[in-house]
Structure 1
Amino acid sequence: MTVLSVSHLSKCYANYASSLERFAGWFGAPVKPIEEFWPVKDVSFSVTAGEALGLIGQNGAGKSTLLKMITGTVRPTEGAAQVVGRISAILELGLGFNPEFTGRQNAFHAGGLMGLSQSRLAELMPHIEDFAEIGEFFDRPLRTYSSGMHARLAFALATADRPEVLIVDEVLSVGDSYFQHKSFDRIRSFKAAGTAIILVTHAMGDVRTLCDRVILLDKGHVLKDGPPDEVIDYYNALIAAKENEKLTVEQRREKDQWLYTRSGNKAVMVESIELTDSGSGASVKTALSGQSLTIRARITAKEAVPELVVGFMLKDRAGHVVWGTNTWHTNQVLSKLEPGDKVECRLRLSCALGPGSYGLSIALHTGDVHIDSNFDWIENVEVFDVINSTDPFFIGTSRLEHAFEIVR
């Protein structure tokens, strides 16, 4: 069932030559503004019950304006947003809170603004206090709170009564690790119970973990709407592309459904990459857990570059990063490559992975991250399976050396 429907939603902020012209425009007079700014333009999507949607994009992409129109705190210029049931949102830290009120008073006050009755809030108050875990500060003025305590109170209030739609906008990033885990457990339980989730964050790991679908906003428009791995990989490549106008982005799905994303300015390129057994040198498509593997990458410089850093990264089937490093961090940066120079980079590693499918990515760049002078960056250039045929059964993506000791 669709619980949120956004149809051609747009917001325009206009500047007029005078306040009188602005006032006349409110009443439908044909007054043309001298300047218009559209932070959101013609955005449409829908969210079903139990679906988690990630909303990502760089600062200024229009995410916050879009959320404010969905929740009704900002009136759209065009289009409409329809919600079936109650919507609860944490858009800004302490939004609707009074710094002179105590946490308890703010919960009653802000909860009333959310549409909850005072009797219902009184019923929920012990649960809000228990979940926030701020102790005696719950009855102290909000001005004495840290940002983390603000986040605890705001989240505890917004999720005290399960809504049909829950919007979380970046606020959890200020909380401590314990509360972040606790909050995401509650979000997952709401999702399982049928609440639609809209998560706005720059933490792509959280998006991959929680979301079923991701929308990428850029300059107020929907640039991409699809599976998390596809949209996030495209977003990462887009960020790098904005650093260099010569950079290109290519994305496609292979027949095995792994997403292949390649970007770079092509000053240095990967010619071939192969995963092999370290002992025999044979190509590997299915590795044994614990096997010694070697990644061989052949690289050619197309232009003169002052330095080259080679990086590798492993992801699991869900797109979560399992491991990664590069030659910047191992102090093995190559310098002064000339056009036509060829390099073979070999990385030997123990396959300390659990059974499953994994994607190997490679990046050629300068500096410690690929955003600096991105030459060639390929997500999921190689996909391989790992099986366990020798060790006792275990779960997870990591094969940890272990030994039980039983004392009676």
Structure 2
Amino acid sequence: MNQVVMSVDKVGKVFRRYRHEMYRVLGWFSGHVRGSEDKWVLRDISFDVEAGQALAIVGRNGAGKSTLLKLITGTMRASEGRISLSGKISAILELGMGFNPDYTGRQNVFHALGLMGYQHGQIVSVMPEIEAFSELGSYFDQPLRVYSSGMHMRLAFSVATAFRPDILIVDEALSVGDAYFQHKSFDKIKDFRRLGTTLILVSHDRMALLSLCDRAILLHEGAVALDGDPESVLDYYNALLGQKDATPIETETQEDGRVRTSSGSRKVSIVNAHLEDIDGREIDTLDVAAEAVIKVKARANENVETLVFGYAIKDRFGQTLYGTNTYYSGQALEGIKAGEEVEFAVRFRADLGPGTYSVALALVGGENHIGENYEWRDLALIFDVANASKQTFDGRIYLPSEMTVTRG
């Protein structure tokens, strides 16, 4: 078992609201008083993080993600429970936190790293690297108040990663700024991970979480709703986004250990789904670039105004390679009656690299499942792609090319 570098034990955070400022003053002397209202943002949060792990924290806006990170970094104090940390922590929380808008970028580097405990000589030694990595040019010596949000992010990330920390915490900051710097930042995070840095990442970017993290925690209504592998947690979170009232979210562990998540009102449900070759035979393996057909039969259990069918092909890490639906193709169905059955067929060419893939299926009432989710089923189909007839290649997609070689 690896060393535990972070332990969060029964942590809670409450914010107290007062109907009048007088009640706040009385509370200083007598604790809880009439005229105040307690709102628990987090309650009974417990988990451990091992050295070298990469943990994603996900949840709806207001679920308590940012509050939890502030408690972990010490910028906010917990109302109950205990947080134990070991090692050097570096965090990027709110952009500009700890920066002075009247200081230049260079002055803010000295200020921020000084607050983190680094000596003047240490800061001077990494200053050229920070200046080069941030790529701020002449703005590095201009006041922060003239920076754009993307420039703030460049400086904040460059400062937070100037020295490799034992624990790196990033809260949504990388969603700001240009794609080039985001890729550059993710590459540095991956380098840190290879060297043993523990990562805590909050992001709405599913691809980033799946590629960087090996564990995820879902916060819901101030509590830990799920703790597991990123694919299953993110699938459950996706189902939660489309959940209405007490509509159940069902999970089922497959033979390979992956968790199938299904959700929805079941006003329309999937009766049967399978993969066929172009001759109509059911298959679970196909050749690179072979044509195949996804066949789905659905039945309406209630009258629905609109029915949209969608699918997504994902790799073994749960990252979507391609997905679309009949809303975008202009084939949404109207006026579906209870008891009516509809068949959908998706013919595609498997321009994929060898490996295992899955298909997620959706029956919804509009452009996506957020408004009206009848049934969403992750890992609805699983199939393998093998290279039986094509030139050897590497990668997750088949992109045939012609190479010209000229000698002399």
TM range (shorter): over 0.9
Between the aligned partners of 2:24 and 2:145, the Cα distance in structure 1 is 38
Amino acid corresponding to residue 187 of structure 2 in structure 1: D
Residues 301 and 339, structure 1, Cα contact 8 Å, conserved in 2? yes
| 1:32 CA drift (Å) | 3.4
Question: Matches of residues 10-29 of structure 1 in structure 2 within 5 Å?
Answer: 10-16=12-18, 22-23=24-25, 25-26=27-28, 29=30
Amino acid corresponding to residue 276 of structure 1 in structure 2: E
Between the aligned partners of 1:345 and 1:114, the Cα distance in structure 2 is 58
| 1:19 CA drift (Å) | 5.1
Between the aligned partners of 1:143 and 1:50, the Cα distance in structure 2 is 36
What residue is the counterpart of 1:298 in the other structure?
A: 297
Alignment identity in percent?
46
Structure 1: runs of 5+ lacking an equivalent: none
TM-score (norm 1): 0.96
| 1:380 CA drift (Å) | 0.6
| 1:127 CA drift (Å) | 1.0
Question: Matches of residues 91-102 of structure 1 in structure 2 within 5 Å?
Answer: 91-102=93-104
What residue is the counterpart of 1:371 in the other structure?
A: 370
In structure 1, the residue corresponding to 2:71 is in which secondary structure? helix
CA offset digits 1:113-153 (Å, max 9, x no partner): 22222221111111111110111110011111111111000
Amino acid corresponding to residue 340 of structure 1 in structure 2: G
| 1:24 CA drift (Å) | 5.7
Instruction: Identify if the C-alpha distance between structure 1 residues 270 and 168 changes in structure 2 by more than 3 Å, giving closer, same or farther.
Output: same
CA offset digits 1:260-314 (Å, max 9, x no partner): 1111111111100110001x21111111111110111111111111111111111
| 1:76 CA drift (Å) | 1.1
Amino acid corresponding to residue 10 of structure 1 in structure 2: G
Between the aligned partners of 1:85 and 1:359, the Cα distance in structure 2 is 40
2:33 aligned with 1:32, yes or no? yes
TM-score (norm 2): 0.96
| 1:50 CA drift (Å) | 1.0
Between the aligned partners of 2:10 and 2:247, the Cα distance in structure 1 is 32
Between the aligned partners of 1:288 and 1:257, the Cα distance in structure 2 is 25
In structure 2, the residue corresponding to 1:168 is in which secondary structure? strand
Instruction: Identify if the C-alpha distance between structure 1 residues 354 and 31 changes in structure 2 by more than 3 Å, giving closer, same or farther.
Output: closer
In structure 1, the residue corresponding to 2:242 is in which secondary structure? helix
Aligned residues: 404
What residue is the counterpart of 2:236 in the other structure?
A: 234
Amino acid corresponding to residue 240 of structure 1 in structure 2: G
| 1:111 CA drift (Å) | 1.4
Question: Matches of residues 180-191 of structure 1 in structure 2 within 5 Å?
Answer: 180-191=182-193
What residue is the counterpart of 2:322 in the other structure?
A: 323
In structure 2, the residue corresponding to 1:375 is in which secondary structure? strand
| 1:22 CA drift (Å) | 4.0
2:118 aligned with 1:116, yes or no? yes
What residue is the counterpart of 1:270 in the other structure?
A: 270
In structure 1, the residue corresponding to 2:139 is in which secondary structure? helix
Between the aligned partners of 2:122 and 2:192, the Cα distance in structure 1 is 19
What residue is the counterpart of 2:194 in the other structure?
A: 192
Between the aligned partners of 1:192 and 1:205, the Cα distance in structure 2 is 19
Amino acid corresponding to residue 303 of structure 1 in structure 2: E
What residue is the counterpart of 1:71 in the other structure?
A: 73
Residues 8 and 79, structure 1, Cα contact 8 Å, conserved in 2? yes
In structure 2, the residue corresponding to 1:149 is in which secondary structure? helix
What residue is the counterpart of 1:350 in the other structure?
A: 349
Question: Matches of residues 122-133 of structure 1 in structure 2 within 5 Å?
Answer: 122-133=124-135
Between the aligned partners of 2:258 and 2:285, the Cα distance in structure 1 is 16
| 1:30 CA drift (Å) | 4.8
| 1:14 CA drift (Å) | 1.6
| 1:16 CA drift (Å) | 4.5
2:388 aligned with 1:389, yes or no? yes
| 1:17 CA drift (Å) | 6.2
| 1:374 CA drift (Å) | 0.7
Between the aligned partners of 1:372 and 1:24, the Cα distance in structure 2 is 46
What residue is the counterpart of 1:207 in the other structure?
A: 209
Residues 21 and 31, structure 1, Cα contact 8 Å, conserved in 2? no
In structure 1, the residue corresponding to 2:219 is in which secondary structure? strand
- Which of 67, 85, 90 aligns to 2:92? It is 90
Instruction: Identify if the C-alpha distance between structure 1 residues 334 and 31 changes in structure 2 by more than 3 Å, giving closer, same or farther.
Output: closer
Residues 56 and 216, structure 2, Cα contact 8 Å, conserved in 1? yes
> Which deviates more from structure 2 when the two are superposed, residues 312-321 or residues 112-121?
112-121
Structure 2: runs of 5+ lacking an equivalent: none
What is the root-mean-square deviation of aligned Cα atoms in Å? Answer: 1.5
Between the aligned partners of 1:87 and 1:25, the Cα distance in structure 2 is 34
CA offset digits 1:40-86 (Å, max 9, x no partner): 11111111111100011111111111111111111111112111111
Between the aligned partners of 1:245 and 1:331, the Cα distance in structure 2 is 30
Residues 16 and 32, structure 1, Cα contact 8 Å, conserved in 2? no
CA offset digits 1:74-114 (Å, max 9, x no partner): 11111121111111100100111111111000111111122
Between the aligned partners of 1:72 and 1:246, the Cα distance in structure 2 is 37
| 1:246 CA drift (Å) | 5.4
What residue is the counterpart of 1:134 in the other structure?
A: 136
